[in-house]
Amino acid sequence: MLSTCSIRKLPSNSSGKDYVVGDLHGCFELLEKLLVAVSFDKTKDRLFSVGDLIDRGPDSLRCLELLFEPWFYAVQGNHELMMLDFFVPYLNTGKLERFEDLEDTGFLEYGGQWVKNYFDPEQQMMTSAFNRCLLEIFKMPLILLVGEGEHRFHVIHAELVKPDYRQSGQIAWLDSDIDGWLEYQEIPLEVEDRLYWGRTLMTVIGNDHDCPKILEGLSPTFCGHTFDKAPRKLYSHINIDTGGFMSFNGYAEFDKGYGLTLYDVHESHWVSVAYEQGIANANV
Ligand SMILES: [Mn+2]
């Protein structure tokens, strides 16, 4: 398995606003609508992404190209991880003889079929536009730490819940743990696994109706990975994955009510939009 294993720290935004968007999964058009809806100012506002930019929706490469925008900051999701793992042999040799998941990464099975559109069989290579994005994925951190003190927030993909939370009595890793990882630029493997894949908070712990919104010692931590019809706040995690791709053609047999959510960090206000629907406003 490949990973970058990094944390990136950014200062507070002193001139504009900060927004976080849920799992894009190729839904570039929905993001464009959301940015218009909030009058996003590319000269001073910032957009953070909880990862999983690719797969399932219609425009994965356009979502990856956001990585080149100076106002866009994203962490890696498990879909980016699977994509990197899938392309390890190609990155090592510079040749892709045929589309086959040699390392059994699950990438093609879980939505990566779109990459075939960027394969040049004569050259046995991916297109240059694709290669450029593939290399950029390596630079994506796993944790974004933004601001200081009461303005501090984090952006991750899945969760910071500890695998042994029942025994240890401490439900999740805290700001102090993150500060330590930042200092040494090293995220422990057990943490990395939870950041990419964890669903405990949304599927087990969150079923308890008394689940507190805030965990003492953990700053607001935006995440996605497990979708629901509205954002949820649990133990300082703010899950804003509301299943944008579910409203795209091909997923139409599923329930209505899903969409892509854009969250205004300081106003604690969110907007969501779905394919073939108007903008929906709501407060958490
Ligand atoms: Mn995910």
Decide if 169 is inside a domain.
Answer: yes
- H/E stretch holding 151 reads none
Q: Tell me what pLDDT residue 168 has.
A: 86
Decide if 1 is inside a domain.
Answer: no
The number of distinct structural domains making up the chain is 1
Q: Tell me what pLDDT residue 2 has.
A: 47
Query: Over 80: is that where the pLDDT of 260 sits?
Result: yes
Q: Which domain holds residue 118?
A: 7-283
Nearest 10 degrees: Cα torsion 264, 265, 269, 272: 50
Query: Over 90: is that where the pLDDT of 282 sits?
Result: no
Secondary structure (3-state) at 129: helix
Query: Over 60: is that where the pLDDT of 23 sits?
Result: yes
Instruction: List, as ranges, residues with CB under 5 A of the ion ligand 1.
Output: 52, 77-78, 225
As given in the structure block, the two tokens for residue 127 are 């297109």
What is the percentage of the chain residues whose pLDDT exceeds 90? 80
Q: Which residues 6+ apart lie within 8 Å of 204 measured at CB?
A: none
Q: What is the DSSP string of 66-84?
A: GGGSTTEEE---HHHHHHH
Average pLDDT value over all residues in the chain: 92
As given in the structure block, the two tokens for residue 165 are 């939370």
Between CA 28 and CA 64 the distance in angstroms is 10
Average pLDDT (113-137) is 95
Q: Tell me what pLDDT residue 277 has.
A: 62
Q: Mutual orientation of helices 78-86 and 128-137 as an angle, nearest 10°?
A: 120
Indicate if the alpha-carbon torsion angle 211, 167, 177, 52 is positive or negative: negative
Decide if 81 is inside a domain.
Answer: yes
Question: Which tens digit of pLDDT belongs to each residue from 55-113?
Answer: 999 999 999 999 999 999 999 999 999 999 999 889 999 998 887 777 788 898 889 99
The pTM (predicted TM-score) of the whole model is 0.94
Secondary structure (3-state) at 45: coil
**Whether the Cβ atoms of residue 182 and residue 7 lie closer than 8 Å to each other:** yes
Distance of CA 123 from the midpoint of ligand 1 (Å) = 32
Question: Which tens digit of pLDDT belongs to each residue from 131-168?
Answer: 999 999 999 999 999 999 999 999 999 999 999 999 98
Looking up residue 22, the CATH number of its domain turns out to be 3.60.21.10
Distance of CA 53 from the midpoint of ligand 1 (Å) = 9
Q: Is 252 exposed, middle or buried (0-12, 13-18, 19+ CB in 10 A)?
A: exposed
Average pLDDT (229-235) is 95
Q: Tell me what pLDDT residue 1 has.
A: 45
Decide if 42 is inside a domain.
Answer: yes
43 or 96, higher pLDDT: 43
Q: Tell me what pLDDT residue 257 has.
A: 83
Any idea what DSSP says for residue 57? S
Q: Tell me what pLDDT residue 248 has.
A: 84
Distance of CA 13 from the midpoint of ligand 1 (Å) = 27
Query: Over 70: is that where the pLDDT of 258 sits?
Result: yes
Distance of CA 141 from the midpoint of ligand 1 (Å) = 15
Decide if 154 is inside a domain.
Answer: yes
Query: Over 80: is that where the pLDDT of 229 sits?
Result: yes
Annotated active-site residue 79? The verdict is yes
Name the active-site residue from 25, 79, 157, 237.
79
Q: Which residues 6+ apart lie within 8 Å of 10 measured at CB?
A: 73, 144, 145, 146, 147
Residue 5 — very low, low, confident or very high, per pLDDT cuts 50/70/90? low
Task: Give the largest CA-CA distance in the chain.
Answer: 59
Please name the residue that has the structure tokens 């009461």: 150
Q: Tell me what pLDDT residue 80 has.
A: 97
Query: Over 50: is that where the pLDDT of 284 sits?
Result: no
Q: Tell me what pLDDT residue 169 has.
A: 87
Distance of CA 74 from the midpoint of ligand 1 (Å) = 13
Average pLDDT (239-264) is 85
